[in-house]
Structure 1
Amino acid sequence: MRADRLVSLVLLLRRRGRSTAPALARELGVSVRTVLRDIEALSAAGVPVYAERGRHGGFALLPGFRTELTGLNHDEALALLASGSGRGEQVFGLGSALASALRKVVDALPEEHQQRADGAAQRFLVDPETDLLSRRLIADEVADATMLAVRRAVLAGHRLRIRYAAAGDAPAWRTVDPIGLVTVRDRAYLLATKGGADRTYRLSRVLDAEELTEPAERPEQVDLAQEWRDRGARFRRGGDQVVVVVRIDPDRREELAGTVLAVRAEDVEPDGRVRLTVVFQDARHAEWALWQIASGAEALDPPWLRTSLRDRAAAIAARYAG
């Protein structure tokens, strides 16, 4: 770990020319004291780091110094691959490895290409922390040690023991055969089997994990995208699904269709409104989706859904009366 950090420190100084200890500490995710100790270690190893005092001072390398420190380690290479798949570097615990890998990649470029890459990078921003309405985008959080154990078991093909807190149940230990990791809109999932049956675990509900030494029972090759589609299809066919008949304004049709599991039937009524027969995951899903559209839609069937929406609207109206 320290060797990788020292390499990253050298590459940061090469790229920036001069940087303060607090700035280096923030970039590397360590304390200022650790940075100062690392600077001393580099100097002792013959790396020409020098300090400039004063208001605009900091640490820098002697001009012209260059090292061949661009070799990627395993996690850094994995992080580069994960970065090509949405925000995998974040939810799979590879964020720091990705930052380190990208520094090495940039350092390997010719100097004129480095400047061009830096300029181009300023023109792109992928998945900021908030959207245009300043709503913070909250990703699932998984403890580093837990994520590391899960990731190692998946890559090594070993069985995995996890302490899992399923919704509505007390946390319990279970041993699974891991297949792969999937991230969807900042939520990460472990695809596995247990006793030969498919299981999908949300990583934020994995409270602890232990990689075992015995090999996992799983196929040598896997099409993870197809596996995810198959599991999604089975999920949509099962559970407490609700079929709803709804009349909706045509300009809100796509909004509703984007939230349902399936559209089974569709007709246009004489007044131009659209009558849909749609499938929701459960009762809560149905009520939530139709409440978002408010008066733009009307649930025709089942009766309990009409009653539930009416009672909710009455409660809101009573709260604001007068």
Structure 2
Amino acid sequence: MRADRLVSLVLLLRRHGRLSATALARELEVSTRTVLRDVEALSAAGVPVYAERGRHGGFALLPGFQTELTGLNHDEALALLVAGSRRGAQAFGLGAALASAMRKVVDALPEHYRSTAAGAARRLLIDPGTDLLARRQAVEEVPDAVVAQVRRAVFAGHKLRIHYAAAGQAPKWRTVDPIGLVTVREQGYLLATRSGEDRTYRLSRIRAAEELAEPAQRPDLVDLDRAWQERGTRFRAGADQVTALVRVHPACRKDLVDTALAVHAEETDADGWLRLEVAFQDSRHAEWALWQLSTGAEALTPPWLRTTLRDRATAIATRYGAPS
């Protein structure tokens, strides 16, 4: 890992010309003391790194220095394969590898293309941290050590031991046969089997992981897209699913349909409102989805859903009816 970091340090200096120890430490995700040690190691190896003192000083390479240290390692190549989603790389613990790989790609470009590509890249922004309403996008944090063990077991085809905290339960150890990794809307999932049964684990709920030496019991070939669709179908058909009859204003139809699991029936009332039979994941999902639509929707059935929404609205009205 230190060799990769030294290569990244050289490439950063080649790209930016001069960088302070603090800036290098931030880019490489290490301490400034580590950067100083790395610079010393590069100098000892014959790489012409020199320091410039003063307010605008920093480290730089002698003009004209060239290096062939651009080969991608395994994680960097893998990061580029999932670079279509920068957040996907983050979800799989490959964020640092992606940054390192991109530095090597830029360094390998001819000088003319390098400057052109850098300029074009500044004109593109993919998946910013907030939307137009300044709402932050939820990103689940998974420790690098955990996701690295999971990743290795998936690629090597070995059994995996995980300390997993299911929703509402205390963490416990279990041994699984990993099949693949999936990221959906900033959330990472491990697809696996346990005792021959399909299992899906959210990466952020894995507290610790250990790759085992024993081979995993799994097919040699897998269609992850199909496996994910099949698991999603089974999940949506779970025992907790709620079906509701909802009257919705046409302007709110898309919001309702995008939130619901499925639409089983639809018709138009005499006043122009729509009447939809929709399925939700569970009672909390149904309550949340209809609450977001405010007066743009009305739950007709089941009765308990109407009661829940009425009680919630009454409590809100009472709270705001009193002086602050």
Normalising by the residue count of structure 1, what TM-score does the alignment of the two structures yield? 0.98
Q: CA deviation at 1:219?
A: 0.8
Q: Which deviates the most, 49-58 or 194-203?
A: 49-58
CA distance in 2, matches of 1:85, 1:117: 19
Are the counterparts in 2 of residues 91 and 187 from structure 1 also a CA contact under 8 Å? Answer: yes
Q: CA deviation at 1:138?
A: 2.4
Aligned to 1:246: 246
1:187 correspondence with 2:187:
yes
Is 2:106 aligned against 1:106?
yes
Instruction: Please give the per-residue CA displacement for 1:229-264, whole angstroms capped at 9, x wherever unaligned.
Output: 111111111231111111111111111011111111
Q: How does 1:9-158 map to 2 (within 5 A)?
A: 9-85=9-85, 87-158=87-158
Q: Deviations over 1:117-144 (max 9, x none)?
A: 1101101111122222222222111111
Tell me the distance in 2 between the aligned counterparts of 1:52 and 1:143.
37
1:87 aligned counterpart, secondary structure: helix
CA contact (8 A) 1:244 1:277 kept: yes
SS, match of residue 83 in structure 1:
coil
- Structure 1 304/265 Cα, relative in aligned 2: closer, same or farther at 3 Å? same
Hey, what's the Cα distance between the residues in 2 that align with 1:290 and 1:272? Answer: 19
Cα distance change of structure 1 residues 213 and 28 upon mapping to structure 2, 3 Å threshold? same
Query: Which consecutive segments of 4 or more residues in structure 1 shift more than 6 A?
Result: none
How far apart, in 1, do the equivalents of 2:139 and 2:304 lie?
A: 34
1:85: Cα distance to partner? 4.3
Name the aligned partner's letter for residue 262 of structure 1. Answer: A
Q: What's the CA shift string for 1:282-303, capped at 9, x where partnerless?
A: 1111111111111111111111
Q: Does 1:209 align with 2:209?
A: yes
SS where residue 25 of structure 2 aligns? Answer: helix
> Which deviates further from its counterpart, 109-118 or 54-63?
54-63
5+ residue gaps, structure 1? none
Post-superposition Cα deviations, 1:147-182, rounded to whole Å, max 9, x if no partner, equal: 111010001000000011111222111100000000
Tell me what 2:198 maps to. 198
For 1:291-310, list aligned pairs within 5 A: 291-310=291-310
SS at match of 1:308: helix
**Letter of the aligned partner of 2:233 in structure 1?**
A
Alpha-carbon spacing, 1:86–1:222, altered in 2? closer, same or farther (3 Å) = farther
2:53 & 2:143 partners in 1: Cα distance?
A: 39
Q: Identify the residue that residue 315 of structure 1 maps to in structure 2.
A: 315
Per-residue deviation, 1:87 = 2.0
State the 1:54 CA deviation.
1.8
- Structure 2 Cα separation of the partners of residues 295 and 85 of structure 1: 37
Which secondary structure state, in structure 1, belongs to the residue aligned with residue 240 of structure 2?
A: coil
1:255-270 → structure 2 map (5 Å cutoff):
255-270=255-270
Tell me the secondary structure at the aligned position of residue 97 of structure 1: helix
Task: After TM superposition, give the deviation of residue 86 of structure 1 in Å.
Answer: 5.6
- Matches of 1:291 and 1:231, distance apart in 2: 28
RMSD in angstroms over aligned alpha carbons?
1.0
Please give the alpha-carbon distance, in whole angstroms, between the structure 1 residues aligned to 2:49 and 2:241: 65
Given that 1:239 and 1:281 are in contact with CA atoms closer than 8 Å, whether structure 2 keeps it comes out as: no
Q: What do residues 94-138 of structure 1 show as CA deviations (whole Å, max 9, x unaligned)?
A: 011011111111111101111011101101111122222222222
Aligned residues: 322
What is the rounded CA distance, in whole Å, between the counterparts of 2:88 and 2:296 in structure 1? Answer: 37
Partner of 1:258: helix, strand, or coil?
helix
**What are structure 2's unaligned runs of at least 5 residues?**
none
